[in-house]
Amino acid sequence: MLQTTDLLQIDTRQGTDNQATYSNGNCLPYTGVPFGMNHFVVQTADTRGSWFFNPNDRTFQGIRLSHQPSPWMGDFSQLLLSPVAGSHCQPELGMAQSSYRTDEAVFAPHYIKLKQERYRIVTELTPTTYGAVMRNQYHTAHPKLVLRTPGEGIIKIDVATHSVSGYVINAAGCEDKQMKMFFAMHFSEAFAIEHCGYFDGAEFISSQQVQRSDAVFVIAFQDTTMITTHLATSFLSPEQAQLNLSRILSDDFDETKMKSATKWLNYLNKIEIESKDKQQVATFYGCMYRTCLFPQKMYELNANEEPEHYNTLTKSVETGYLYTNNGFWDTYKTVYPLFSLIAQTEYAEMLSAYLQSYREAGYLPKWLSPDERGMMPGTLIDAVVADAAVKQIGLELMPAFLEAMIHGATTRSDKQNYGRRGTLDYLKLGYVPAHYGESINHTLDYAYSDFCIAQVANILGDDKLAQTYQRQANNFFKRV
């Protein structure tokens, strides 16, 4: 079985040497907890857009709180934490960045550690479900932390309690263009705000009330050698962010790191392999770690430990589970069959969340990030539901799922990113005509979805409905 020290052999940089024109995996070196709400990523080059990390870069711009599931989807609700030092700090990112020794850095599922050469700072971070703890060891005077909030946002300073809070609004795509991610931070040492402002072109404008793009806050601490930062986020409210923060404040860095490691070991040790080739073992568990990064929780536990989430359509807080950052075209026959074996409790919770998405949007999800983006053909969540039904997972949800699947198979949405495309033509002709984009792929996927609907109907004892969708699924053989 894997031990905590074995996690350090899993290098999360595997698959990250990419560019927009060529992929070696299109991955990012995420540090987080399994299915956690946030991921944390070293940022080396903001100018490359979604490819903001490359393992060959020697630059270090900060640690980015990220929700990017794929470079093609883009990020949402991001911010950047950049430890710096010195009597004068340049607000401009390119002028303030440092370098680090890539061969000495630690990129592990539960832990980031690197040494910033320019500022002589050792930066460490370990995640929680709704935040993280960062520890910075300074070997020079005038320790500082730069907080960058891309997009619209606002920040509140409370020097008396060593706290900073606020929100950011930035998303590559979302039904609610003003969706906020609230954050709350607590520092172990007293501080003052050295710079507060935003950029107007190349000019930095100082301002005490910042609600502009690319806001920058330079937090200056009293001279000390060690600063610990606790961070939590929320999509619900500032109060929920503070509640999420309060739940981790009592744990120091090492305690948090151990808890994060334990969460990973609980998943990774579900599968044991034996090999004399340690690199093979590390590669296997490196791939397995990636299967537990997504989907991400987008629900939080209120003061009564009840799940709540933000509904981007009604722009209100709702009761129940919600998950995001998942495209079923990519995952229906990969991670979900694995979850049915090693994460059945979480699988059932995800099913409940996807049913919640149906109740709120009117259609089962296809590509969530944070809400329906409509990327890729088909409605292959049908296969995820059928696989769960066959394996007796979430059976109490199946009547509602069957209703949702039939609705998606028979009702055309006015919004192209919801439901099936060419629905009525497919029902009439048995295939999706060529004037629809990706028509062959849609036809294949819809036929398979019809087969999956038949399986769920059969399990629920509706033989007539099962026969109807089984016949419809056979169009695959007649038309393609």
To the nearest whole number, what is the mean pLDDT of the chain? 94
CB-based contact 296:348 (threshold 8 Å):
no
The pLDDT of residue 66: 98
My answer on whether omega of the bond before 295 falls inside 30° of 0, hence cis, is yes
Among 89-93, 414-418, 468-472, top mean pLDDT goes to 468-472
Q: Which pair of structure tokens corresponds to residue 245?
A: 């923060």
Per-residue pLDDT tens digits for 253-268: 999 999 999 999 999 9
- pLDDT classification of 200: cutoffs 50, 70, 90: low
Residues 6+ apart with CB under 8 A from 143: 83, 85, 121, 136, 220, 221, 223, 224, 227
pLDDT higher than threshold 60 for residue 208:
no
Average confidence (pLDDT) over 404-419: 95
Determine the pLDDT at residue 205.
60
- Residue 224 banded pLDDT, cuts 50, 70, 90: very high
**In the predicted model, is pLDDT for residue 195 greater than 80?**
no
What pLDDT is recorded for position 252? 98
pLDDT at residue 153 in the model: 87
Which of 258 and 214 is assigned the larger pLDDT? 258
pTM of the model: 0.95
- Mean pLDDT across 312-320: 98
How do beta strands 143-149 and 79-85 pair?
antiparallel
CB 347 within 8 A of CB 332: no
Overall average pLDDT of the 157-184 stretch: 95
CA atoms within 13 A on the CB side of 36: 27
∠ CA 11-298-151 to the nearest 5 degrees?
A: 85
The pLDDT of residue 202 is 60
| pLDDT attached to residue 193 | 84
Residues in the chain: 480
Q: Give residues with Cβ within 8 angstroms of 280, minimum separation 6.
A: none
Q: What percent of the chain has pLDDT over 70?
A: 96
Does residue 87 register a pLDDT over 90?
no
Quote the pLDDT of residue 215.
85
Taking residues 187-213, report their average pLDDT.
70
Which domains does the chain carry?
A: 4-268 (2.70.98.10), 294-479 (1.20.1050.60)
Q: Rounded CA gap, 227 and 145, in Å?
A: 10
pLDDT of the residue at 206? 59
364 neighbors 354 (Cβ within 8 angstroms): yes
Average pLDDT over residues 25-29: 97
Q: What is the mean pLDDT of residues 7-14?
A: 96
Is the pLDDT at 213 greater than 80? The verdict is no
Q: Residue 480: is its pLDDT beyond 60? A: no
**HEC secondary structure over the chain:** CCCHHHHCCCCCCCCCCCECCECCCCCCCCECCCCCCCEEEEECCHHHCCCCCCCCCCEECEEEEECCCCCCCCCECCEEEEEEECCCCCCCHHHHCEEECCCCCEEECCEEEEEECCCCEEEEEEECCCEEEEEEEECCCCEEEEEEECCEEEEEEEHHHCEEEEEEECECCCCCCCCCEEEEEEECCCEEEEEEEEEECCEEEECCCCCCCCEEEEEEECCCCEEEEEEEEECCCHHHHHHHHHCCCCCCHHHHHHHHHHHHHHHHCCCCCCCCCHHHHHHHHHHHHHHCCCCEECEEECCCCCEEEEECCCCEEEECCCEECEEHHHHCCCHHHHHHHHCHHHHHHHHHHHHHHHHHHCCCCCEECCCECCCCCCCCHHHHHHHHHHCCCCHHHHHHHHHHHHHHHHCCCCCCCCCCCCHHHHHHHCCCCCCCCCHHHHHHHHHHHHHHHHHHHHHCCCHHHHHHHHHHHCHHHHHC
Give the CB-side neighbour count of residue 397, counting CA atoms within 13 A: 24
pLDDT in tens, 339-370: 999 999 999 999 999 999 999 999 999 999 99
Percent of the chain exceeding pLDDT 90 equals: 87
Six-digit token pair at 93?
């990112």
Q: Convert the pLDDT of each residue in 97-150 to its tens digit.
A: 999 999 999 999 999 999 999 999 999 999 999 999 999 999 999 999 999 999
